Amino acid sequence: MNGTLYTIKAGIGFFTTIPVGIDVDGMQKLSLNAYFFPLIGAIIGLLVGCIGLVLSHLPSYLFSALLIFILYLVTGLNHLDGLMDFGDALLTHDTTEEKIRAMRDPSVGVGGIVFCMISILILFSGIITLQQNILFSILAAEICAKQSMLTAAMFGSSTYKGLGSIFIDNVTMRDFLIGLTFSMITCWLTLGMVGIIALFAAVSSALIVVSISNHNFGGVSGDSLGAINEIGRILALIVGGSAWTLL
């Protein structure tokens, strides 16, 4: 298997539950070629969006609930778990060390539960509003989510050594710009100006979360990246849906 296909395979193995297999070498290869993040997002979005297209004839509430279930069935719960850990740590009123300890604690607190519930509710609402254009909307949203992660890895510094630091320490401006170029072209081709607005909303949210992480934790962690993925997806859907009504 050539290097490009090996990297894409590693990305699919890391970002989804699809059993393609992943190893340490694959993770390292992906971290050194992180510009593939948005491409992996496109693959995920195309798969979930096509399923959404099939389900789009269902009543809106059932449609949205089923599509969220399918989304997490395909992508797994790692990023959502990161959002919950991020929420727990953010709502800990203590020192930076205590906040990091709360983030790394395997148990889930009230902050994590609240963050999870709010994100699911907003995601549910966003998917309902885009039911008639679900394929391109999900495709663009997943690209935006992965470009958000790439942005945070580029402009953030790792809080501590871990899975997230592999990417945060290795992402370069080249990765960021290649990924951004791919994301802009793909979002434009799928949603036009709405896609560009959604993309820059997601990227902006990543920079905000990086700033929050720096202030509270002294840097960006793998859980921060997971939170950024979830927030980027939600913002892309919400902002994209809002833009449709204005343009």
Q: What is the pLDDT of residues 44-103, one digit of tens each?
A: 999 999 999 999 899 999 999 999 999 999 999 889 988 998 988 888 877 888 888 888
Q: Is the pLDDT of residue 18 over 60?
A: yes
Here the tokens at position 9 are 């395979």
pLDDT-based confidence at 21, cuts 50/70/90?
Answer: confident
Of 38 and 28, the structure prediction assigns the larger pLDDT to: 38
The pLDDT of residue 164 is above 80: no
Of 104 and 56, the one with more pLDDT: 56
* Gap between the Cα atoms of 84 and 234, Å rounded: 15
Average pLDDT over residues 36-48: 96
The full set of domain ranges for the chain reads: 3-246
Q: Report the percent of the chain where pLDDT is more than 70.
A: 97
| CA separation for the pair 213, 159 (Å, rounded) | 9
How many CA atoms are closer than 13 Å to the CA of 104, on its beta-carbon side?
15
Q: Confirm if 230 and 145 have CB atoms less than 8 A apart.
A: yes
pLDDT at 244: 59
Higher-pLDDT residue of 204 and 219 is 204
What is the share, in percent, of the chain residues with pLDDT greater than 90?
Answer: 55
Query: Is the model's pLDDT at 247 over the cut of 90?
Result: no
Q: Do 86 and 223 touch, CB atoms closer than 8 A?
A: yes
pLDDT of 179: 96
Residues 112-124, mean pLDDT to the nearest whole number: 91
Above 60 in pLDDT, residue 1? no
pLDDT of residue 246: 58
For residue 141, the model assigns a pLDDT of 95
Quote the mean pLDDT of the chain: 89
CB of 216 within 8 A of CB of 96?
Answer: yes
